[in-house]
Amino acid sequence: MAAIAPDTTDRDLLDHLRRVKSASIGDLEQFLGVTRTAVRQRLSRLMDKGVVDRVVEKQPRGRPSYRYSLSPQGEQLTGDNFSDLVEVLWEEIRRIEDIEVRRGLLKRLANRLAEGYAEQLGNGALAEKMRALSELMDQKEVPFEVDESGGLPVLTALACPYPGLAEHDRSVCAMERLMISEALGETVRLAECRLDGGSCCSFEPTKADAKHADAPANSLPAQT
Residues 95-109: tens digit of each pLDDT:
999 989 988 999 999
* Partners of 52 in beta bridges: 70
Q: Residue 219 pLDDT > 50, yes or no?
A: no
**pLDDT of residue 7 exceeding 70:** no
* pLDDT of residue 224 exceeding 50: no
pLDDT band with cut points at 50, 70 and 90 for residue 138: confident
Q: Which of 85-89, 121-125, 141-145, 176-180 has the lowest mean pLDDT?
A: 85-89
Quick one: pLDDT at residue 5?
A: 47
Side chain identity at residue 186, one-letter code: E
164 pLDDT higher than 50 = yes
Q: Average pLDDT in the 49-61 region?
A: 85
Q: Can you give the pLDDT at residue 211?
A: 35
Return the pLDDT at 36: 93
- What's the rounded mean pLDDT across residues 143-158? 90
Give residue 44's region: left, alpha or beta (phi > 0; psi -120 to 50): alpha
Strand partners, 190: 203
Confidence of residue 2 (pLDDT cuts 50, 70, 90): very low
In CATH, the architecture of 97-219 is: 2-Layer Sandwich (3.30)
Alpha helix ranges (H) inside the chain: 8-20, 25-32, 36-48, 72-79, 83-94, 99-121, 126-139, 163-166, 171-184
Band of pLDDT at residue 79, cut at 50, 70 and 90 = low
Within this chain, domains 8-79 and 97-219 share the same CATH topology: no
Domain 8-79, what architecture? Orthogonal Bundle (1.10)
Question: Is the per-residue pLDDT at 188 higher than 60?
Answer: yes
Residue 34: pLDDT over 60 = yes
Domain boundaries, the chain: 8-79, 97-219
86 has a pLDDT exceeding 50: yes
Dihedral of the alpha carbons of 121, 126, 131, 137, in degrees to the nearest 10? 60
How far apart, in whole angstroms, are the C-alpha atoms of residue 195 and residue 43?
A: 38
pLDDT band at 66 (very low <50, low <70, confident <90, very high): very high
Q: For residue 42, which of 51, 77, 58, 21 has the smallest C-alpha distance?
A: 51
Please determine, for residue 186, whether its predicted confidence score (pLDDT) is greater than 80: yes
**DSSP letter (8 states) at residue 160:** -
pLDDT of residue 87: 80
Q: How confident is the model at residue 217 (pLDDT cuts 50, 70, 90)?
A: very low
